[in-house]
Structure 1
Amino acid sequence: SIAACFSVDIKQRFFGIKSDATEVRMARVTTVVTGLIGMLISLYLIAADSNDVWDLFLLITGLFGVPIAGIFAVGIFTKRTHGVGVIIGIFVAVIVSYFLQGQGIGGAGSPFYISIIAFMTAFIVAYIASLIIPTPKKDISG
């Protein structure tokens, strides 16, 4: 579930393991927040002026899901990428995708076009940012 992924992969990794009661409380909060986000997205899809829900689904996935795929690809195909570069890549890709959705320049109204641009933007920006910004030093002495 999303609560387990958030708790183990993000919270425990970056903030440490707390008491069982705190972990359960965080899982409940995560479940409620993601449920509310899902309901808000559903309300947006209902209220949108588009007759084609599939296009809306592709636009939303192109805005958020595709940049994450670009980040996975940069992690697989390069060795120099680090967390700061990845975060910069995701933010820039989401912003570029958002503005492309509203412009309609040269086929930018197509969800597939936006997805390609979002993927490439996340990949390229994350890689370049990782090259420019120094790698955080880790203490590996044991």
Structure 2
Amino acid sequence: VVQRYVTTSDEKAARKSLWITMWMSVFGSLVFFGLGAAIYAFYKTQPELLNPAMEKTDGILPFYIVQQLPVGISGLIIAAIFAASQSTISSSLNSSATAYIKDFDTRLFRPNRNDKTYLRAAQLAVVLIGILGTVVAIVMAKSDIEGAFKMFNKIVGLTAGSLGGLFALGIFTRKANGSAALVAAFAGSVTVVTLFLIDAPVTGLLYAFIGFTTCFIVGFILGCFLPPDAAQVKGLSLTTKDD
């Protein structure tokens, strides 16, 4: 989302981009969940076609592609899955490396260096992040997790909730300042991580909501006691956008 609206020419185009992204996300979700429901119905009515040795539900879609689709079609779909995965992974690697260079290397570790130095550092970061991601993927594949999708939602919930809370604090209130927002984000992350570590009876789908709510409430309360300077929020929230 960020990559889309920072490349737009004005606020109107950015708003349009966000709306398009939202509706495309809804459409994509309907397609993916509809596909899962269709495969579930297929094997529910024909359970003899399902491999009884399959331990994890993540293998149902590849199993269906290989066993039920024609040879040419199955090959094209597998190639498309690999192509989409490669595209997504390459974007993630590049954006992660860029974030490291811009937020840490150029500001904290090695400021005022030439572009060639930062380019080499970014290339090295891509390699290291790729290796780390591969190791994590292997560990997850070998571990006893219920499903990749549920684990994905848990991992996203550990960080995305607090991030959303920060955005909500900045957009909908004029109470929180920078210090209050950082403490609130930390509180939201700690809350969710604690639930994860103690294996609390809370579904991973609620992690993001819990982190969001905790971050927003803590930030709002702290902001009441540590109000920001008016100049800090001028033009940044809904209530001050016209100031």
Q: In the alignment, which residue of structure 2 is the partner of 1:7? A: 101
Q: Which runs of 5+ in 2 are unaligned?
A: 1-93, 232-243
1:57 counterpart = 2:142? no
Contact 1:67 1:94 in 2 (8 A): yes
Change (3 A) 1:12 1:70: same
**Secondary structure of the corresponding residue to residue 137 of structure 2:** helix
Q: In the alignment, which residue of structure 1 is the partner of 2:121? A: 26
Q: In the alignment, which residue of structure 2 is the partner of 1:86? A: 181
Deviation at 1:103, TM superposition (A): 4.0
Q: Which runs of 5+ in 1 are unaligned?
A: none
Change (3 A) 1:132 1:26: farther
TM-score computed with the length of structure 1 as normaliser: 0.70
Deviation at 1:29, TM superposition (A): 4.0
Q: Which amino acid aligns with 1:86?
A: A
Which deviations, in whole Å up to 9, do the C-alpha atoms of 1:15-41 show, x marking residues without a partner?
Answer: 554322332233234323433442343
Superposition RMSD in Å: 3.0
* 1:71 pairs with one of 134, 158, 166: 166
Contact 1:85 1:129 in 2 (8 A): yes
Which deviations, in whole Å up to 9, do the C-alpha atoms of 1:51-103 show, x marking residues without a partner?
Answer: 22211111111112222122122121123434333332222212111221234
TM-score computed with the length of structure 2 as normaliser: 0.45
Distance in structure 1 (CA, Å) of the matches to 2:152 and 2:171:
27
Q: How high is the sequence identity, in percent, across the aligned residues?
A: 23
**Secondary structure of the corresponding residue to residue 167 of structure 2:** helix
Q: In the alignment, which residue of structure 1 is the partner of 2:217? A: 124
Larger radius of gyration: 2
Aligned length: 133
**Secondary structure of the corresponding residue to residue 81 of structure 1:** coil
The answer to which structure, 1 or 2, has the higher relative contact order (CA under 8 A, 6+ apart) is 1
